[in-house]
Amino acid sequence: MDKTLDILNALANEKGLNFDDVVEAFKIALLKTAEKMLGNVNIIVNFDKENKKLHVYQIAEVVDDKDERAYEDGENFIYLDEAHDIDPNLKVGDKVEFELDFEKLGRAGAANLQRELDFQILRLMEQGIYGKYKDRLGELITGVVVRVDKDENTYIEIGEVKGILPKRNRIKGESFKVGDLLKAVIKYVNMDKNKGITIEISRTTPKFLEELIKLAVPEAKEGLIKIHSISRIPGVRAKVAVSSLSPNIDPIGTIIGAKGVRINSISKELHGENIDVIEYNAAPEMFIARALSPAIVDKVTVEEAKNEDEMPVAKVLIKPDQKAKAIGKNGINITLASMLTKYRIELVEKEEKEEAKKDAKDFDQLFNF
């Protein structure tokens, strides 16, 4: 087994794997092969790190010369007189260890061992890749489209693996063909014994927009501009709440860029998605009022949720002529504002007559000395 360690060391270097992990993989492959070729045998594999030697021992129980178990199962039981050839001090009931005779396995055993080792090495490599990409969840990746299947799922190459962009994670109206360069974020990584590694990517999550902003706006990537929250209806419209950590940086203007060059490049990547950038405010009333832009609201009153399963409520007092703007086409504006602020927004229309009375009262007070 001395040469085996040299082979395993070379294999570890070739595949970029840890040597100890490769030795463990060999142990598993060896045990599975022995079990398949010899039946239910008791085997231990020892790696002597100090002397760099690998030992494989078969263990058998010592029985007396009349015990039929040694005749029926010579792999797990050994007669006392045979055991004494190994150690004269052994007694009935003792366990005896002896080097496994690999010739018992034959050519079929050697071929099986190779297959088992290849399988274990493949699993080791997959585990390494799985760990690598699990740590990259939410990260922006770029890959080349290699296949589009009949269900319109798009497959791209990401380094040593392939990622899948399901149709549901694709912005409505966009399509890709083989050879296209595609940007997305890693949404989900899974390891399956039969299917191997699955890396699902997405272009519809708020995280994708966040990463695109960081790519286009150095100040956001460096942390000088903080992105607090994002709400999206992919390919249609989005709202982004930001603030500046530097008094010298205007967060909205910086993200939009000169003549809108930055925000337009991001919108183009999102298949024309309109992006509203608003300044975040820690006061929920102010934040909600800004989130409903372009509508102008009169007053916001917030009510905390009664239990954890409910969203807190924001009652927004608004003039009739601003209501349509607040709601937006097909309810998009108020929906995005609610998603952005995490408040369920209820619009309360301000009465025109009451407003007129208030204006008249204020006018009268100008002449009361």
Domain boundaries, the chain: 2-131, 145-202, 205-280, 293-369
Per-residue pLDDT of the chain (369 residues; tens, 9 = 90+): 557 778 888 888 888 888 888 888 888 888 888 777 777 777 777 777 776 777 777 788 888 888 878 777 777 788 888 888 888 888 888 888 777 766 667 788 788 888 988 988 888 888 888 888 999 999 999 999 999 999 999 999 988 889 999 999 999 999 999 999 999 999 999 988 777 788 999 999 999 999 999 999 999 999 999 999 999 999 999 999 999 999 999 999 999 999 999 999 999 999 999 999 999 999 999 999 999 999 999 999 999 888 878 899 999 999 999 999 999 999 999 999 999 999 999 999 987 545 545 555 554 555 554
- Long-range CB contacts (within 8 A, 24+) of 290-294: 291/239, 291/241, 291/336, 291/337, 291/340, 291/341, 292/316, 292/326, 292/333, 292/334, 292/337, 292/345, 294/325
Other C-beta atoms closer than 10 Å to the C-beta of 20 total 12
Q: Which fold has domain 293-369?
A: GMP Synthetase; Chain A, domain 3 (3.30.300)
Q: 205-280 with 293-369: one CATH topology?
A: yes
Closest to 241 in 3D by CA, of 213, 278, 274: 278
CA distances from residue 198 to 17, 150, 184 in whole angstroms, order as listed: 21, 19, 15
Which CATH number is associated with domain 205-280?
Answer: 3.30.300.20
Cβ 316 vs Cβ 299: under 8 Å? yes
Q: What class has domain 2-131?
A: alpha beta
Residue 196: which region, alpha, beta or left (left: phi > 0; alpha: psi -120 to 50)? left
pTM tops 0.85 = no
To which CATH superfamily is domain 145-202 assigned?
Answer: Nucleic acid-binding proteins (2.40.50.140)
Closest CA to 237 of 208, 259, 270: 270
Nearest to 65 by CA among 81, 83, 89: 81
Is-contact 322 295, C-beta < 8 A?
Answer: yes
